[in-house]
Chain A
């Protein structure tokens, strides 16, 4: 084999756009822990673009749904189909920002370097990524000393560093001040506008209103409703969503 053969082949492979992950189709998705059924036969489809806000009371299975969709766990039964792609290959084309970010015990910059390196991305993008989330001035600080909002922005930058086609966010702004919430929403909206598919779990009605293209409302392990944003906020179809919005939903 000549010296140039291999790199050229790899380049060509990278240049060919992979078949898209979207649309997503979920059929009879069920998750049980022993006797308890946490997710009970979910059926829904997500179109190729936009931001889906996943809502529902505590314990309704939102976090577990994200982990199932991201391939971090296997369902008890049912099917998750990402554009017909091999389930094994799906996780790597997505990223998940956890509610409590798990940051490496390294500097802010090293947290990004780690992902760029292990995922074989261009190391030169680090400064641009940090700049994008407003952390350039903290690059050399230990990541573990960041404030909640900064830590979450770093987690977001790390997720973006993997160039995901789908970005999952699990209550990323749950305990942040309004400025940090706004900063994160701006970055996510920007990613959405560049074509990244967003699945965003939130409890914050205002946030859902600001971000949503459609709303998936979970209640008691089932989908209470899945509607376009403008319909959902005008007049939710389901009683549970209506009660939730009025603060009257009893779990």
Chain B
């Protein structure tokens, strides 16, 4: 067990030297969370758009469910995915448990509702503003949705970033379905959680620093997207 000062020094060394193991963990984290974010956007955005401009019965219930799913606890998502992917589960034959794919699935389930709910809000607000003009122009539904998505593109980008931020920082789901296997499914958060308890404070701290930088980067990106939008009068 190292002292905090020692560990911090080692951590900085690891980061500065571009340590191979460290890099592998960071890259896997990014690959898993970016893929999950992309898939979650592909699923969540159309659902959000549909609910935003659709007027169907049961819409209120859908809204409640969507908003409730936003707060899914990661460990519960992990557990449910585990039950499906485990050998005795319905999807056990795919052999996906303890693979990066399993982690992508879990994170996608975790953040797709966030993307859906937030983009629903963004698109519905914009639609409230555009709807009458669009009806006057006799746009089709598809043209309406396309125009809304394009005009809300900056806000939707921040929705995607919010999803990525949540995915990359989450530990509960990936630890259950990934298992923190070295060189295979070890990502930043699971490494921090488990290496700390094993006493490898340097690696944990180094990863913690990188995770912080990523979180800051996501926030900076959101900020710059907002400023770009304002500059182009998209507010």
Instruction: Judge if A118 is at the interface, Cβ distance under 8 Å.
Output: yes
Most interface-central of B129, B139, B233, B235 (chain A CB within 10 A): B233
A interface residues, tally (CB under 8 Å): 20
Q: Are B151 and A102 in contact (CB under 8 A)?
A: no
If A142-B233, A144-B233, A144-B235 touch, does A102 touch B129 (CB 8 Å cutoff)? Answer: yes
CA gap between A142 and B231 in the complex, in Å: 9
B132 touches A162 (CB 8 A): no
For residue A145, which residues in chain B have a CB less than 8 angstroms away from its CB? 233
Closest 7 CB pairs of A and B: A142-B233, A144-B233, A102-B133, A92-B138, A105-B234, A105-B151, A145-B233
Is B59 among interface residues, defined by CB-CB distance under 8 A?
no
Check B136–A70 contact: CB distance below 8 A: yes
Answer whether residue B137 sits at the interface, using C-beta atoms and an 8 A cutoff: yes
Would A105 and B233 count as touching, CB distance under 8 A?
yes
A104 to B134, CA, bound (A): 10
B130 at the binding interface (Cβ < 8 Å): yes
Name the prevailing secondary structure of the B interface residues. helix
User: Taking A142-B232, A144-B235 as contacts, is the C-beta distance between A98 and B132 under 8 angstroms?
Assistant: yes
B137–A118 touching, CB < 8 Å: yes
Interface of B toward A, CB cutoff 8 Å: 129-130, 132-133, 135-139, 143, 147, 151, 232-235
B147 touches A104 (CB 8 A): yes
Known: A102-B130, A105-B233, A144-B235. Contact between A95 and B136, CB under 8 A?
A: yes
16 other A-B residue contacts (CB within 8 Å) besides A92-B138, A96-B136, A105-B233: A72-B135, A91-B138, A98-B133, A102-B129, A102-B132, A104-B130, A104-B151, A105-B151, A105-B232, A105-B234, A119-B137, A119-B138, A142-B232, A142-B233, A144-B234, A162-B137
Q: Which residues of A are at the interface with B, using a C-beta cutoff of 8 A?
A: 70, 72, 91-92, 95-96, 98, 102, 104-106, 114-115, 118-119, 142-145, 162
29 A–B pairs (Cβ distance < 8 Å), ordered by A: A70-B136, A72-B132, A72-B135, A72-B136, A91-B136, A92-B138, A96-B136, A98-B132, A98-B133, A102-B129, A102-B130, A102-B132, A102-B133, A104-B130, A105-B151, A105-B234, A106-B151, A118-B137, A118-B139, A118-B143, A118-B147, A119-B137, A142-B232, A142-B233, A142-B234, A144-B233, A144-B234, A144-B235, A145-B233
Nearest CB of chain A from residue B177's CB, rounded to whole Å: 40
Contacts of B135 in A (CB 8 A): 72, 91
* Nearest Cβ on chain B to A65's Cβ, whole angstroms: 15
Q: Is the interface of A mostly helix, strand, loop or mixed?
A: mixed
CA–CA, A148 and B133, complex, Å: 17
Q: Which of chain B's residues have a CB closer than 8 A to the CB of A98? A: 132-133
**With a CB–CB cut-off of 8 A, which chain B residues contact A91?**
135-136, 138
Select from chain B the residue with minimum beta-carbon distance to A141.
B233
CA distance A114 to B144 in the complex (A): 11
Residues in B neighbouring A70, C-beta threshold 8 A: 136
Q: What A residues does B233 contact at CB under 8 A?
A: 105, 142-145
Which residues of chain B have C-beta atoms less than 8 A from A95's C-beta?
A: 136
CB closest chain-A residue, reference B154: A105
CB distance from A87 to the nearest CB of B (A): 13
CB-based nearest B residue for A119: B137
B residues less than 8 Å from A72 (CB atoms): 132, 135-136
Residues of A within 8 A of B136 (CB): 70, 72, 91, 95-96
Instruction: Tell me, in angstroms, the Cα distance from A159 to B22 when the chains sit together.
Output: 59
Report the bound CA distance from A171 to B133 in whole Å: 16
